[in-house]
Chain A
Amino acid sequence: MSPASEQDKLNEQAARINEAQAPRTLGPAKQESMGMGRAGYDLLAAILGGTLAGWLIDHFMPAVSPWGLIGMMLIGFVVGIMNVWRAMSADAGSPADKDKPQG
């Protein structure tokens, strides 16, 4: 066997390995579904985080109670909705991306 054909054989093998490994990387569909799963927890976490922060504010500064809890919960809700919207528009890769506020 000549060295040239040996080289061809190696190249061909390398191409076949690359081809076989290609489907292993996450496609757009897979990444999108992961984004969908993310959004729900982002909303939940923002509201819970806001509630916790508000509760702590009220706990250590009883004078402002209950406005710390109410205010932080509302901020949490706003941030949660903002994050969900951001995750959704980033996933869609739609023209809406252009006018969304970049974080």
Chain B
Amino acid sequence: MASLLEEFEIHSLSKPLFTLGGHDITFTNSALFMFLAIASATALMVFAMRPRAIVPGRWQMVAESFYNMIHDMLLGTAGEDAKPFFPFIFSIFIFIFFCNLFGMLPHSLAVTSHILINLTIALVLFLVILVTGFARHGLHFLHLFVPPGAPLFMAPFLAVLEVFSFLVRPFSLSIRLFANMLAGHILLGVFAGMSVSLVAAGWLTGSFSILPLAVNIAITGFEFFVAFLQAYIYTVLASVYLRDALEMH
């Protein structure tokens, strides 16, 4: 049986395009699915909103509900000040969501099951948060790292912990998404493999192979839910962290 991790392998689809720092840069399957995700998300938003009807049709309804969901969540979490960041947060959501959905296609690669992709998005997000924080509050932004009400002699120790806690946020953000996508896809593979093994073992055990199959169907449905939920949680936490930069508490 093929390795369960085979579906996560990245391979080049093209000749090396150019060399960067001693590495050959090629067009990989990861890049392909990212392009597909971006293209279809853009197509959804552009073509679904084309009619601009007051009473929306089906596609316009889909596009509008994504928009409204993230819009309400962002303003509810990070406040009215967060409005300029809506395009950024919405892009993160729709990109992760479509990457997750493309991962559900057979023989495809779930791009977000690679921690580097998630970490890159999280680091860009933290760059934005840091720049915003310092631009808005100047050096006062550093007060984020000194808990109010703590004794003065404790402040240096607490500041170390707070800075550390701030720095591991991108990790926590990307590990959550990566672990959920990886675990879900491996689980699908495990149950599918179990079905195949039972059939291969003979007719008596083969008749039981319907059980892992049924579980697999249920998990497939659940994975679609996870694909949405993890994209949503990623954006919710992104806006929670954004709130720190916008309004110091």
Closest to A24 in B: B69
B237 touches A38 (CB 8 A): yes
B161 touches A78 (CB 8 A): yes
Q: Known: A34-B236, A38-B237, A48-B175. Contact between A101 and B158, CB under 8 A? A: yes
Size class of the A contact interface (CB-based, 8 Å): 20 to 34
CA distance A42 to B176 in the complex (A): 9
Q: For chain B, residues 160 to 175, give those with C-beta under 8 angstroms from any C-beta of chain A.
A: 160-162, 164-165, 167-169, 171-173, 175
Closest to A45 in B: B172
In the complex, whether A44 has a CB less than 8 A from a CB of chain B is yes
Main secondary structure of the interface of B (DSSP, over half): helix
The stretch of B12-20, B32-40, B143-151 that contacts the partner chain: B143-151
Closest to B154 in A: A101
Q: Which residues of B contact A45 (CB under 8 A)?
A: 168-169, 171-173, 175-176
Closest to B144 in A: A103
Pick from A34, A37, A79: contact of B164, CB under 8 Å: A79
B165 touches A79 (CB 8 A): yes
A75 touches B175 (CB 8 A): no
Q: Known: A41-B176, A48-B175. Contact between A102 and B164, CB under 8 A? A: no
A103 touches B147 (CB 8 A): yes
Q: Known: A34-B233, A41-B179, A101-B158. Contact between A76 and B168, CB under 8 A? A: yes
A41 touches B175 (CB 8 A): yes
Closest to B174 in A: A45
B150 touches A46 (CB 8 A): no
Give the distance to chain A from B164, nearest Cβ to Cβ, in Å.
5
Pick from B164, B172, B249: contact of A75, CB under 8 Å: B164
CA distance A102 to B173 in the complex (A): 21
Q: Which residues of A contact B150 (CB under 8 A)?
A: 101
Give the distance to chain A from B65, nearest Cβ to Cβ, in Å.
9
7 chain-A/chain-B pairs, Cβ below 8 angstroms = A41-B172, A45-B168, A52-B171, A75-B161, A82-B165, A101-B147, A101-B158
Q: A38-B233, A50-B164, A79-B168 are in contact. List 20 more A-B contacts (CB 8 A).
A: A37-B233, A41-B176, A45-B169, A45-B171, A46-B172, A49-B171, A53-B167, A79-B161, A79-B164, A79-B165, A82-B161, A83-B165, A101-B147, A101-B149, A101-B150, A101-B158, A102-B148, A102-B149, A102-B249, A103-B165
Instruction: Using CB atoms and an 8 Å cutoff, list the residues of chain B in contact with chain A.
Output: 72, 144, 147-150, 158, 160-162, 164-165, 167-169, 171-173, 175-176, 179, 233, 236-237, 249
Shortest 5 CB-CB distances between A and B: which pairs? A45-B172, A49-B168, A45-B171, A41-B176, A101-B147
